Structure 1
Amino acid sequence: MSRSSIAVRLVESFTSLQGESTHAGRICFFIRLAGCNLDCNYCDTRYGRSFGAGEPASVDELVRRAQESGTKLVEITGGEPLATPETPELCRRLLNAGFEVLLETNGSLPIAEIPREVRKILDCKLPGSGMAERNDFSNYALLAPHDEVKFVISCRTDFDAMLEVIRRYDLPSKTANLLASPVWGRVAFTDLAEWVVSSRAPVRMQFQMHKLIWGDRPGV
């Protein structure tokens, strides 16, 4: 198969503000690929979970859309983009076209094939997700300093589990970008803020900025 004919299942692509990560607030072009191997109980993109969702789109087409977006920041998300075999090639093509590339992944699949220049945003699934046993902790040895680990907190038990993962894998020695994010509607922002401050955790608290602006709806 020629490089130009490589295709993926695309749920949606759009330009908006980056709502999470250390890049929150930046204009970003989003590429949402179909299919996820997990089923987190707080998932807010269920419309992209099916591997049959969306429509076929070539890698060439996605690079062209990114070029027409007017921004040089691109995020590949899902679903779970590492469940799409063509994702490493899509990353390489976007990098070669001069884009800054973010990849959001659920942390259950290996990141080894993703170019190091890509800024990986790696979820760590905590007990409240129902998927904590699916984490691939071997990924932490592959983290670059510009990569990020995101902990989605749904209760105090999740917060304590986050502290244990950070300690056990010595994450601050791998990246300073450790993010604690409250599950929308389940954890009060003030509660998480108090936990972070009182624990002196080496994390950055974040919100889902896009939900604060536009509410709990997809495609923004």
Structure 2
Amino acid sequence: MKTNINEVFSSFQGEGTLIGRRQIFVRFSGCNLDCSYCDTPESRNPQYGELISTDELYSKVNSIITPDFHSISFTGGEPLLHSNFIKKFLEEYEFKSMLETNGTLPAELNKIAHLLDYVSLDIKLPEHGASNNYADILDLELKSIKLLRDEEINTYIKVVVMPQTEVELISSIASRIADEVEKTSELVMVLQPVSPITVWADGTQKLFELSEVAGKYIDVLTIPQVHKLLNVK
């Protein structure tokens, strides 16, 4: 089995609750969404990168493991477009793993959820480019969150917020999660201010407001993309 992989590299995790952990990032090609803030637009192309097998991926990963290695991060693009490949890889090779996903493919997630240690699930907002079918996308994301909680996978919910993000919308999303998902005491919502951070020069008060309304329903953190601040990949 082979699939298109954009790149394989070692760096610090710059987002979410594993921030600062040394990971090997496996960036898959292709995405089912077209987000306005995407910082790897080349990965939207399903033909981009190199066609490699699970054995070849193992060789690439094994060649760059460092003593501080924590886990593999499967990212993209949308890695769940490659769920069969990921399943085969994790069944063949024992690595601690993390999935970074938009959560809109719950059927594909169901194939591999039991093999994952961590999941970063990115909830999309209308201003991300999902305005036409936003309600459907959110329903799919909530289905994925429920699936992960049923499997008791260590999961955090990431929401990229912009200066124009409505406080009421974040409140509504957090409220739905609290109402519809079991075991929310073990969930964290990470509000991630869109990069570059300079766009928030006149709007940092908004970040406090977003955190406050989310915090009524769910444990919440506000964390920027630290790898951008460190100027590393």
| Interval of TM-score (by shorter of Structure 1 and Structure 2) | 0.7 to 0.9
Confirm or deny: 8 A CA contact 2:2 2:52 kept in the other structure. yes
Cα deviation for residue 85 of structure 1 reads: 4.2
Q: List gaps (5 residues or longer) in structure 1.
A: 1-5
Q: Structure 1 pair 97/39, CA: closer, same or farther in 2 (3 Å)?
A: same
Percent sequence identity is: 31
Q: TM-score, normalised by structure 1?
A: 0.85
2:31 alignment partner in structure 1: 36
Is residue 107 from structure 1 mapped to residue 87 from structure 2 by the alignment? no
2:10 alignment partner in structure 1: 15
Give the whole-Å Cα distance in 2 for the aligned partners of 1:187 and 1:43: 18
Give the one of 36, 55, 59 matched to 1:60: 55
1:97 alignment partner in structure 2: 93
Confirm or deny: 8 A CA contact 1:196 1:203 kept in the other structure. no
Q: Structure 1 pair 15/48, CA: closer, same or farther in 2 (3 Å)?
A: same
Cα deviation for residue 113 of structure 1 reads: 1.2
Q: List gaps (5 residues or longer) in structure 2.
A: none
| 1:112-191 superposed matches below 5 A | 112-118=110-116, 119-131=118-130, 132-133=134-135, 134-135=137-138, 136=140, 137-143=142-148, 144=152, 146-170=154-178, 173-174=183-184, 175-185=186-196, 186-188=199-201, 190-191=204-205
Query: What is the SS of the residue equivalent to 1:147?
Result: strand
1:82 alignment partner in structure 2: 80
Give the whole-Å Cα distance in 2 for the aligned partners of 1:149 and 1:162: 12
Aligned length: 209
CA RMSD of aligned residues (A): 2.2
Give the whole-Å Cα distance in 1 for the aligned partners of 2:154 and 2:22: 19
Cα deviation for residue 193 of structure 1 reads: 3.8
Confirm or deny: 8 A CA contact 1:34 1:51 kept in the other structure. yes
Letter of the 1:210 counterpart: H
Cα deviation for residue 212 of structure 1 reads: 0.6
- Whichever structure has more helix as a proportion of its residues is 2
Is residue 194 from structure 1 mapped to residue 208 from structure 2 by the alignment? yes
Give the whole-Å Cα distance in 1 for the aligned partners of 2:157 and 2:46: 25
Cα deviation for residue 199 of structure 1 reads: 3.3
1:3 alignment partner in structure 2: none
Deviates more, 1:71-80 or 1:162-171: 162-171
Confirm or deny: 8 A CA contact 2:170 2:210 kept in the other structure. no
Letter of the 1:165 counterpart: I
